[in-house]
Amino acid sequence: MSTPEQEDTLEIIVGLMEIAKQHDENIQKTLITLSETVEREKKALQSLRNDVVGVDW
């Protein structure tokens, strides 16, 4: 049998684990969004470079 204090501690630990999981999911989503943004910016930069190269100086 566990004591009420042990039960409370277990509830706190489970709650903290859930918060940590949520933070991890949010971080993963942020990293994916950043990666997608970087790829879009790379394509835009390459397109701009191609436009500049095509200009008659």
Q: Given this model, what pLDDT does residue 22 score? A: 98
Band (57; pLDDT cuts 50, 70, 90): low
CA-CA distance, 41 to 13, in Å (whole number)? Answer: 42
pLDDT confidence bin for 54, thresholds 50/70/90: confident
Identify the band that residue 53 occupies on the pLDDT scale cut at 50, 70 and 90: confident
Q: What pTM did the predictor assign?
A: 0.68
d(CA 28, CA 37): 14
Give the integer Cα–Cα distance in Å for 45 and 22: 34
2-51 per-position pLDDT tens digit: 899 999 999 999 999 999 999 999 999 999 999 999 999 999 999 999 98
